[in-house]
Chains A and B, each alone.
Chain A
Amino acid sequence: MNYEELGFKCGLEIHQQLSGKKLFCECPAIIRKDAPDFVFTRRLRASAGETGNVDLAALHEHRKGKVFEYQGYFDSSCLVEADDEPPHYVSMEALETALVMAKLLNMKLVDSIQFMRKTVIDGSNVSGFQRTALIGYDGFVEVKGRKINVDSLCLEEEAAQVVKRGKDKDTYNISRLGIPLLEIATAPSITSPEECRKVAGYIGMLLRSTGKVMRGIGSIRQDVNISIKGGARTEIKGFQDYKNIPKVVDYEIERQLKLIKEKKKVEESVRKAEPDHITSYLRPMPGADRMYPETDVETIIPGTVEIDVPITLENRKMKLVKEYGLSEDLAVLALKFESRNNYSFEKDFEKYASENLSPTAIADIILIKAPSIAKKEGKEISIFKIKDSFLEELSRGRIALSAANDVLKEFAVRGKVEFEKYDLLDESKIERIVKRIVSENKGAPRGLVMGKAMQELKGRANGKKVSDLVSKHLR
């Protein structure tokens, strides 16, 4: 497809859940799916917004006249989620993450943060609105040399999760309700579905760089706004994997082109990204009328919050590659391991890297060798228990790198290691053994002699040293 000829315009909206506690209460951000501890039912009514108009999208849901059943858990949902208690203080952790993200997106900060109520009466918010605040505006990201404007960053509450939709009743699980959510919206200046995918990937990397995001399926979602000449603005919601964006967008363009060809009107709408890459109708586009101030939350002046901007994952990866000589693949693995374990490879590289032990070798032991031995032995290896003393031995050259697998195996099986067993032999002992093997194998080719020597000295002598001694005595 020639996207330029089609007049293709595309904007991206990214929703990312933050870890920690909920935005307006002390409940932990834990999403549960097991049997609920309590259930309550509600009915929602459309109400007039600030300008006196009822929002069209809100009215659409009200006309359905539905009952909403909410399932909750005593440990992760309280009266705030049940909308039977006003919100508490905004989570400072979430607010700080939002401000950090605004900086990473090169945004301007609003001088005063005012939480708004965005009317949503499909039942996904018990209160009938989602609390949301504009944090930053007018930012940009640079992806593959192109500058993509980022219009807005909002901090908002995650909605409840649908359990079941029925004719008269929809059921929701409220454990997810109230989890802090960052909403990032780019300008419609993306020029191709492939570029859209790249921007989504890049912003996702920035989000993970904060170290405060939730992980797992559904913790990040992409919505794509697209339009083509003669078509209508369409919002495609619910991408679970940003890698599918190009395919889904192409299908949607084809759908609109078909309608244009048949001379049918293309309506502005919100559509859902289905698993088979097609889109289905969700509801009409919501308007600004559904926003009015959240009067239970006082305005916040962000100038008083200190912002410590982290190094992005991309930059940290490049550092591991350029400064420490890791391969890109190993660097990616290292960063994933770091975020899961609250650990820093750089610190250990600085501490243990030596002429005997390269940074790559350190990363290889922790990321590749240890997990593969653990798998092979069917045991768990708590690498942090052994890491420091093990790396110390290797770094000082007391143990050969070739003994690493044996050390890890012993640790996996016994839960402890006697490092002395693996100590390198001193030169005179090695020479004595090499001399004996040479005399026992008179006339044999060098390779065979070397093989026998290495087998006997396995892990206890440096390979190069053995090789040198074999050459010396064969002569």
Chain B
Amino acid sequence: MEDKDFVQGKKYVVKLKDKSVMEGVFVSETSIHVFLKLKSGYNAGFEKKNITEYKEVVDRKISRDKKVTKKYDSKKLHKILILHTGGTIASKVDYSTGAVTPRFSPEDLVGMYPELMDLASVESKLVSNIPSDDMNFHHYNMLGKSIVEALKDKKIKGIILTHGTDTLHYTSAALSFALECVPIPIVLVGSQRSSDRPSSDAALNLLSAAYFITNTKSSGVYICMHENMNDEKCVLLKGVNAKKMHSTRRDAFKSINTKPFATIDFNNKKIDYKDEASSTHGNFSFKPFNEKIRVGIIRSRPGLAPEELKPYEKFDGLVLEGTGLGHFPIGFIDKSTEHNKEILSFIKDFADKKVLCMTTQTIRGRVNLSVYSPGRALKEAGVLGHDLDIITETAYVKLAWLLSNYSRNEAKKLYHANLRGEISKRSEVEEYEL
């Protein structure tokens, strides 16, 4: 059989070379195989060259996707806006490629989680539909603008932003900085297991976020994800302290160097605040990113070569992710370490003209550039970040945002200021392994 025209969703009777007859709904095809969904529900692939005959059969029982119509309960006081950006929380099976892709209409999501209607009246809007890995400053600005627009509606109690989990914490940090003194809670929600499966974590994450919004006085940007492997409680993490710590688990997001802001027990309708809200008193202003600003992240490691730094010469800022307390290979020990001089001189030159800050790849803990001589040399060279416990992702976003909105000198000063709760002065004992 060559180039037969099967139509997706239609039912066919197919005769094979070995005389067997198969009947099923056409699902997809590759250059070699035709995939039919058989009456038993199984998809089976048949080689095209083995198909001798095929015929469409009319089957009235094949049902199409049912459109879900939105329902608003105007009597409810609170209104929640759900802004969609795709991601696993809004995923559907793509039958042409067989992959799970972010490709959901906002109505579908609301239709899938009818419990939302019991909490508030829900409005939903698609901002963009891109995998979170493709996000950049342009998209952060786009989201910021959508939120600014939404704030004009005074009935909106809070905003849920659905987002792919891979860069969820970058976006939460970006919005934390860009939306200064935001007067309502903005909660980013993702899911680690796609919403097309019964065991998806999407439902609890979304419903917990909605419950938080309708029952809190706090404002600011947060992430709402599972607290642990149980579908029981969610944690609410401050947008600037969260990191994706696991590639697959539903409790992947952890608060780094600080306690989570709160836990939400949706099933028992309880919020347990663990930390004080970051201060949002003041006038709201939207300070977007300069989409032309370029900031890089360089990760130190044994054997780092100076050539690796060179391409960053023209960048506006750099985050150095050092080892331990915040170290880079800048010592000249023997012949084999001679080139380390070039690394130090690159850092010096860059710091003279641009902005450079240090974080640590240990993930947890504080940078200290005073303990060892290499640290002191880096500090002397003009590297920022001494005594700070900002995580790398937030440092990257903060630096880009500062360079977007302030002069170089102001940015350098403000990098050390605690603007959104991204820095904690005390390293508390219990924060490790939270």
Contact = CB atoms under 8 A, between A and B. Distances in A.
Interface string B388-405: 000000000000000000
Given A41-B231, A129-B197, A293-B98, A288 B39 contact: yes
A77 to B, nearest CB: 12
A42 interface: yes
Interface in B222-254: 228-232, 248-250
A48 B64 CA distance: 11
A18 interface: no
Interface string A25-55: 0000000000000001111111110111100
B110 to A, nearest CB: 14
Interface residues of A, number: 53
A113 B44 CA distance: 6
A42 B199 contact: yes
A289 B37 CA distance: 10
A126 interface: yes
Contacts of A295: 93-94, 98-100
A291 B196 CA distance: 12
B63 A53 contact: yes
Nearest to A127: B199
Contacts of B20: 108, 137-138
A42 B231 contact: yes
B281 interface: no
Contacts of B45: 110-114, 299
A118 interface: yes
Contact of A111 (B40, B50, B198): B50
B203 interface: yes
A116 B41 contact: yes
B44 A110 contact: yes
A154 B95 CA distance: 22
A128 to B, nearest CB: 2
A43 B113 CA distance: 14
Contacts of A85: 248-249
Q: Size class of B's contact patch?
A: 35 or more
A43 to B, nearest CB: 5
B232 A41 contact: yes
Interface string B26-56: 0100000101011111111111001000000
Given A112-B35, A113-B45, A138-B20, A51 B62 contact: yes
A63 to B, nearest CB: 13
Contact of B249 (A79, A108, A112): A79
B18 interface: yes
A82 interface: yes
A83 interface: yes
Contacts of B43: 114, 116, 134, 291, 293
B197 to A, nearest CB: 6
B292 interface: no
Interface string B249-280: 11000000000000000000000000000000
Contacts of A51: 25, 62-64
A40 B229 CA distance: 6
Nearest to B44: A110
B248 A118 contact: no
B200 interface: yes
B33 A111 contact: yes
Given A128-B197, A289-B41, A293-B27, 17 more contacts: A43-B231, A47-B195, A50-B27, A53-B63, A84-B192, A84-B249, A111-B50, A112-B35, A113-B45, A114-B43, A116-B43, A126-B199, A134-B43, A288-B41, A291-B41, A293-B93, A295-B98
8 contacts: A40-B230, A53-B66, A67-B231, A84-B193, A137-B44, A154-B42, A293-B93, A299-B45
Interface of A: 40-48, 50-53, 58, 67, 79, 82-86, 108, 110-114, 116-119, 121, 126-129, 132-134, 137-138, 152, 154, 287-293, 295-296, 299
